[in-house]
Structure 1
């Protein structure tokens, strides 16, 4: 079955301190953001990519009434394939119009009656979803996010102020919303948190770090998750290749003796080696960014405990 409407519905869940980051990821992936926990788009993104996406509905049919959907699903012919229908909990129904648990199950069963195929709630071949929003009903192919990033939390090597896997995954999406044909670098890759998330999404990215001890940890983490890419010890000044995008987590605290001059040099080299940059910084850096010849396109802040970072998109 084709997505005749070319429409996808994404549901989201995030912590309060991640809301700004989630919306920057939305803008990067879809060119717009939603002020609710649900986003409509014609752009196809697998929900496993985002640490904030919970589900995706690929819309096959829509209508103003549930009866409109019931009539349309008669077209579905699955042959010997089994199916299941899920009522998405996300909706904007008023309190008096809320559909309780039993009502949701009843709608699932009713849809199942109209679909030509065998229902199987345990291990179906196909999963469909039904959603109501904005006075309309939407029905289509349903995918639930597997939260791939959760497995990456258990690294052999880590340190306390490293980016969390959730933040790193969002940053990779912000930097590389469409990975096709994109060549990326993380020239201050630390223990490789961004590398792991980017590689798990099929992105073409290499890593580098000036600290030989840290880069050993990077390689150990990559090997642990069976990801392969170049992760070398070296200074950004030594890079001669050119990249579509660079993700630069600026060095800080006891892992680095970074001065404003060193930060400025990092930014200058970032501009030299990449067309686009996503700068992650705990320090105010707008003036240095401008002086390095980079233009700020978008930005957000994110918090890990009391530690606040800025994520700044530049070109």
Structure 2
């Protein structure tokens, strides 16, 4: 394939339920500094779509134009040499209803572009996939990557709590805490069975765990090892943390194994203050007053729902 210069822009598409919307939007803001309700977003920030439980796909933009004809003209320079390819017209786009492209038109456009590109098309197992999408009044074409639902692999753990975060929520929380892992040290000092740790470690986040309960520390270590991951989990209270961390994740203990009273919750937050640059808290209670009393300021938030059950996720500095 000839070397094509990307424009530096990326198009992302999303899929989420109404219950997940608030959490997804907070994750978007953490990654990109903005969010959109349209389930399609353009940014100069490069995120692996498999990191997010809500991203469907990413296009790394090579060409853009006001009309589809502009794209057809520009793809004439694409030469695949010995590399096979296919073209996908992305399903999610923001065309007005009157301009929507139906299924057959999409297949026709895919074929038209495929005939212009110099090389061998392979619709089943291509070496390279290209994506085409209309967005915000323009057309975009580039290298296509489909998200892989890595979190699905982590659903079945050797050790589990019925009240643990779901893998989708845990993955989003890890992303909210550490949107860019480079050079960032993180800690989950009330890690429980390790749901957040597994998701964070699987994304290459430098994170350590800790818990006051020896049984869950063993369970957390077993879960991490089960997925072939490497991460330290120490036994001990949060008050004994001595290192400083760029990001701290606390899922407030509330289950029958490690029930935390309001005084316990406040103590956890106060203990986290000296070593935490950024704090992400998951809670079933409204603890805004505790956050303030512990010396943190809430800078963003969302609600993660599951039926009638809901958790608040607070981002604090």
TM-score range, shorter chain: over 0.9
Q: Deviations over 1:42-63 (max 9, x none)?
A: 1000100000000101111011
Is 2:256 the counterpart of 1:254? yes
Could you state the TM-score of these two structures normalised by the residue count of structure 2? 0.97
Q: Secondary structure at the match of 2:11?
A: strand
Whole-Å Cα distance in 2 between the matches of residues 166 and 40 of structure 1?
23
Call closer, same or farther: CA 1:33–1:58 in 2, change over 3 Å: same
Residue number in structure 2 paired with 1:82: 84
Paired residues of 2:171 and 2:199 also in contact (CA < 8 A): yes
TM-score (norm 1): 0.97
Alpha carbons 1:20, 1:302 under 8 Å: kept:
yes
Q: Which structure 1 segments of 5+ residues have no match?
A: none
Structure 1 stretches of at least 4 aligned residues deviating more than 6 Å after TM superposition: none
Which residue does the alignment assign to 2:175? 173
Alignment partner, residue 54 of structure 2: 52
Q: Please tell me whether residue 39 in structure 1 is matched to residue 36 in structure 2.
A: no
1:152-198, CA deviations, whole angstroms, 9 ceiling, x for partnerless residues?
Answer: 11111111111000000000000001000000000000110000000
The secondary structure found in structure 1 opposite 2:83 is strand
Offset of 1:106 from its aligned partner?
Answer: 0.8
Give runs of aligned pairs for residues 188-207 of structure 1, distance below 5 A: 188-207=190-209
Corresponding residue number in structure 1 for 2:231: 229
How many residues are aligned here? 315
Task: Kindly indicate whether the alpha-carbon contact (under 8 Å) linking 2:63 and 2:140 is maintained by their aligned counterparts in 1.
Answer: yes
Counterpart in 2 of 1:218?
A: 220
User: 2 CA distance for matches of 1:4 and 1:140?
Assistant: 8
The answer as to whether partners of 1:3 and 1:58 remain within 8 angstroms in 2 is no
Partner-residue secondary structure (3-state), 1:150: helix
Q: Where does 1:291-310 land on structure 2 (aligned, <5 Å)?
A: 291-310=293-312
How far apart, in 2, do the equivalents of 1:46 and 1:80 lie? 26
Per the alignment, in what secondary structure is the counterpart of residue 117 of structure 1?
coil
Give the Cα separation in 2 of the matches to 1:241 and 1:134: 46
Asked if residue 121 in structure 1 is aligned to residue 120 in structure 2, the reply is no
Match of 2:158 in 1: 156
Separation in 2, partners of 1:189, 1:209: 6
CA contact (8 A) 2:93 2:134 kept: yes
Q: Distance in 1 between matches of 2:258 and 2:154?
A: 25
RMSD: 1.1
* Deviates most, 226-235 or 16-25: 226-235
Helix, strand or coil for the counterpart of 2:256?
helix
What displacement does 1:2 show? 4.6
Contact 1:28 1:173 in 2 (8 A): yes
